[in-house]
Structure 1
Amino acid sequence: MAQVQQIKIDTSHGTLAVQSIGSGSPPLLCIHGNSFCCKIFKHIFSSDLSKTHQVLTIDLPGHGESSNALDPQRSYNQPAYADAAVQVLQKLGIAEVIIFGWSLGGHIAIEMLPLFDGIKGIMICGTPPVGYGELDKGFTFGDEGWKIAAAARDGLNAEEISGFAHNCADPPYEDWMEECVARTDQVARSLMFNGFARGECLDQRKTVGRSTVPIAVVNGADEPFVNLQFVKDVEYGNLWSGKCIEMEGLLHAPFWAKPKEFQEILERFIKDVS
């Protein structure tokens, strides 16, 4: 198996930790979710994909092994995360890319569409492409809405950190997940979600509706945080396979719970868009 390279890349949003394995083109860029890090993609990194494609992942500013943002107000939002990812691609000399975005990572991938011409395809998972004012339609945070969700708050206590870590990824749980949530810059969640709610990003529903880039939508059928009916009702400009895919019995991170089954879907998508 090829060796994983650990790279640090300076961007205007901070120094980002990047992992890379393999060398085939177009590369696959994996973008993690809120308060997680690149470790969530370990099954993809250890798969046969690296024999045919370069596989990359980044820790977002304020997450994992990356530095905290140089300017939190500027950098802890979806457009800035997208800009940081584009800066990484440019510094690595990558002209074409396929993106797999999980949860927040899927929103970032959508934000990258107008920023990077070489996107061959996007797969999103746990990501409702919401329009302006639709956060509480696309997400299922309960009667009080997104404002009380751990995903949108700073200063989580130890119990909340543990609950967030356990709930975001499907079983099996691993200790690094809680450590990752605890490490995340504590202002990152609220700044990102409040900016999201104020519409300081693309109208993502309209963006995926207008885009000709193939978009694959894959979710766990028992997804706890996303309104799957909302996701299916979105009009996509180029929906891969002609339908949203739901994996039975799985939750917010089906690629973690059933890596072999998910990998088969991901590899078909990569083959089609390559």
Structure 2
Amino acid sequence: MQELTLTMKYATVACRLSDSSGPSVLLIHGNSSCKEVFKHQFASPLAEKYRLIGFDLPGHGESSNAFDPTNAYTVPGFADLACKLIEELNANPVVVFGWSLGGHIGLEMTTRPNEVRGLMISGTAPMGHSVKDFADGMYWDSPHMQLTSKKEFTPEEVERYARHTCGVNAPFEPFLRDAVARADGRFRETFVSDYLAGRGSDHRTVAETLTIPFAIVNGADEPFVRNDYIASLPYRGLWERKVHLMPGVGHAPFWEAPEAFNGILERFVDDVVSG
């Protein structure tokens, strides 16, 4: 396992890489989380078969806060950083797994040529830019959903957000809470308003028209995004022609049911590489 710190355009970025020389797989965490949320993937045989790459987004984990918050704390800004990161690590084109916000970053990355060879998302609703699009794709009025764009959290909100994002019935570790408390609240305030303002790609259109391998793996008990909405979209090339729903799982399948999830991810990456 390698731990790296890279000084990049938007931030000083903390990275974790497995020691494999196999195909590269970039793991992108969600809102107010950190790269350690993928500990069950790095501790699995996946880390021997593939070159797993995890990193803390600017304003998260061990990365610095953004040097330029207005541009860095946006989906296009995060995607730009991720593309430059994989270029720096000689990992492009890469297979991407994006969780929640990370899925939006992955979708945005696919609009840049020759960076992504396959994309899997989880807990992400591919949406347009309007308030109606948000309401169609997510449980926008739920109390925990409202926290996604709130700048300052109370200690109770930190606890609640950490537990809801990683599964209220899943094993809980203190670093999940610490990651939420550490996150730069300016990021939460900026990225939602920026997306609603129309910056970046329309992710519904991107998801529906992707020609690279594209997989969706969600928890059947997803509390943030609407599985019925996600299943209703007319995707051009959805992997295995279905949205994969994991029973008894919420927003974070890779954390809540890692063994089952890892098997799906391995099958997907193998299909991408062999295709």
TM-score band (shorter)? over 0.9
Runs of 4+ in 1 over 4 A off after TM superposition: 143-146
Task: State yes or no: 1:110 paired with 2:110.
Answer: no
| CA-CA distance at 1:53 after TM superposition | 1.2
For 2:269, the equivalent position in structure 1 comes to: 270
Instruction: Decide whether the 8 Å contact of 1:78 with 1:192 is kept in 2.
Output: yes
Offset of residue 131 of structure 1: 1.5
2:121 to 115, 124, 143: 124
1:141-152 alignment runs, 5 A limit: 141-142=140-141, 149-152=146-149
The 8 Å contact of residues 95 and 116 in structure 2, kept in 1 or not, is answered as: yes
Q: State the Cα deviation string for residues 29-54 of structure 1 (Å, max 9, x = none).
A: 00000000001100000111122210
Equivalent residue number for residue 48 of structure 1: 45
Equivalent position of 1:78 in the other structure: 75
Following superposition, the deviation at residue 16 of structure 1 comes to 0.5
Do residues 101 (structure 1) and 98 (structure 2) align?
A: yes
Whether contact under 8 Å (1:22, 1:52) holds in the other structure is no
Deviation at 1:198, TM superposition (A): 1.7
1:10 aligns with 2:7: yes
Alignment partners' CA distance in 2, 1:50 and 1:132: 36
Per the TM alignment, residue 191 of structure 1 is displaced from its structure 2 partner at its CA by 0.3
Partners of 1:168 and 1:253 within 8 A in 2: yes
| Residue aligning to 1:68 | 65
2:187 match:
188
- CA shift, 1:238, in A, is 1.4
Letter in 2 for 1:227: R
Q: When the two structures are superposed, what TM-score results if normalisation uses the length of structure 1? A: 0.95
State the superposition RMSD in angstroms.
1.4
| Matching residue's letter, 1:91 | E
Rate the CA distance shift 1:122–1:18 in 2: closer, same or farther, 3 A.
same
In structure 2, the residue matched to 1:25 is 22
Provide the secondary structure at the position in 1 that maps to 2:185.
coil
* Residues 129 and 234 in structure 1, CA contact (< 8 A), matched pair in contact too: no
- The aligned amino acid for 1:105 is G
Change (3 A) 1:192 1:216: same
Q: CA deviation at 1:118?
A: 3.6
Q: Indicate if the aligned counterparts of 1:221 and 1:249 stay in contact, CA closer than 8 A.
A: yes
Distance in 2 separating the partners of 1:268 and 1:18: 25
**Within 2, Cα distance between the matches of 1:206 and 1:38?**
28
**CA contact 1:5–1:19 (8 Å) conserved in 2:** yes
Matched residue, 2:217: 218
| Contact 2:144 2:160 (8 Å CA) reproduced | no
- C-alpha distance in 2, partners of 1:264/1:164? 27
Partner SS, residue 9 of structure 1: strand
> Is 1:79–1:201's contact at 8 Å kept on the other side of the alignment?
yes
* One-letter identity of the residue aligned with 2:88: K
SS at match of 1:216: strand
Give the Cα–Cα distance (whole angstroms) in 1 for the partners of residues 244 and 198 of structure 2: 28
Q: Is the 8 A contact 2:83 2:115 kept in 1?
A: no
**Mapping of residues 155-194 of structure 1, within 5 Å:** 155-170=152-167, 171-194=170-193
Question: Residues 190-269 of structure 1: matches in 2 within 5 Å?
Answer: 190-269=189-268
More off after superposition, 88-97 vs 105-114: 88-97
Q: How many residues align?
A: 269
| Normalised TM-score (structure 2) | 0.95
Query: Unaligned 5+ residue runs, structure 1?
Result: none
Provide, for residues 50-91 of structure 1, a one-character-per-residue CA deviation record: whole Å limited to 9, x for no partner: 222100011000000000000111110101000011111111
